[in-house]
């Protein structure tokens, strides 16, 4: 494998893509925490579309685990072609010794998470269905509280180390909140529950007016 230097354009493209992967993973992780680790949000979801949000929870968990599995795979498949992984990034670029020390420390944390919590799920349920595991209904990929946050912190620190080595500055704190995000969804759910209560308690002209508003929204949705 011919190694590139950190200042090479090829190395910079790799690091930019890695940082984008970490941002996407952080966004997925953030949505999951905001919806399913918040008791107030759980109540809102049960009052509005319980089954839908149960499905969303299952999808988010599978997607998060699969994305972690992909980025923590070995550097190549059957030693024939390279994969875009943490291990490959460490090996394919000629990092300075101090950067190497940081990267190996952080990759150790990431690989520990993979080996303890992701590997079995990846091999038996995520990448394909192991027949015995699938038919038994086994649940794989669980981890203790806050272990996922430690993983995300390690990946974010790695993004900063890589970015500084290639571009001369850290990538910076990852912000995943923006207009129209999960926080606005939670606000919309609160308003929906309030509307339902107001509609149920209304009578006469007020109820007719509320029904008209509801009907107008349903016609345009």
Percent of the chain whose predicted confidence (pLDDT) is above 90: 80
80-92 pLDDT, tens per residue? 789 999 999 999 9
Model confidence at 74: pLDDT above 80: yes
Question: In which band, very low, low, confident or very high, does the pLDDT at 216 lie, cut at 50, 70 and 90?
Answer: low
Residue 207, pLDDT score: 86
Is the CB of residue 95 less than 8 Å from the CB of residue 103?
A: yes
CA pair distance 217, 213, nearest whole angstrom: 6
Residue 213, pLDDT score: 80
Residue in this structure with the two tokens 């300075």, named with its chain if needed: 96
121-155 pLDDT, tens per residue? 999 999 999 999 999 999 999 999 899 999 999 99
Model confidence at 57: pLDDT above 90: yes
CA pair distance 85, 98, nearest whole angstrom: 21
Residue 219, pLDDT score: 53
Give, as one character, the DSSP assignment of residue 5.
P
89-119 pLDDT, tens per residue? 999 999 999 999 999 999 999 999 999 999 9
First and final C-alpha spacing in the chain:
54
């Amino acid at each position: 494998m011919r190694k590139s230097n950190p200042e090479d354009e090829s190395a910079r493209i790799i690091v930019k893509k890695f940082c984008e992967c970490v941002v996407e993973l952080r966004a997925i992780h953030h949505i999951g925490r905001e919806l399913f680790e918040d008791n107030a949000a759980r109540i809102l979801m049960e009052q509005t579309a319980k089954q839908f949000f149960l499905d969303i929870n299952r999808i988010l968990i599978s997607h998060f685990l699969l994305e972690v599995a992909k980025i923590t795979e070995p550097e190549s498949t059957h030693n024939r072609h390279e994969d875009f992984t943490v291990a490959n990034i460490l090996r394919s670029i000629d990092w300075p010794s101090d950067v190497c020390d940081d990267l190996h420390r952080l990759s150790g944390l990431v690989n520990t998470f993979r080996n303890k919590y992701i590997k079995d799920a990846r091999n038996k349920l995520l990448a394909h269905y192991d027949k015995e595991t699938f038919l038994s209904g086994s649940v794989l990929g669980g981890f203790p509280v806050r272990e996922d946050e430690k993983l995300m912190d390690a990946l974010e620190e790695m993004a900063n180390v890589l970015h500084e080595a290639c571009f001369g500055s850290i990538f910076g704190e990852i912000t995943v909140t923006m207009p129209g995000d999960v926080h606005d969804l939670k606000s919309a759910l609160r308003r929906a529950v309030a509307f339902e209560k107001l509609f149920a308690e209304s009578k006469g002209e007020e109820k007719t007016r509320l029904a008209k508003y509801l009907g107008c929204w349903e016609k345009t949705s």
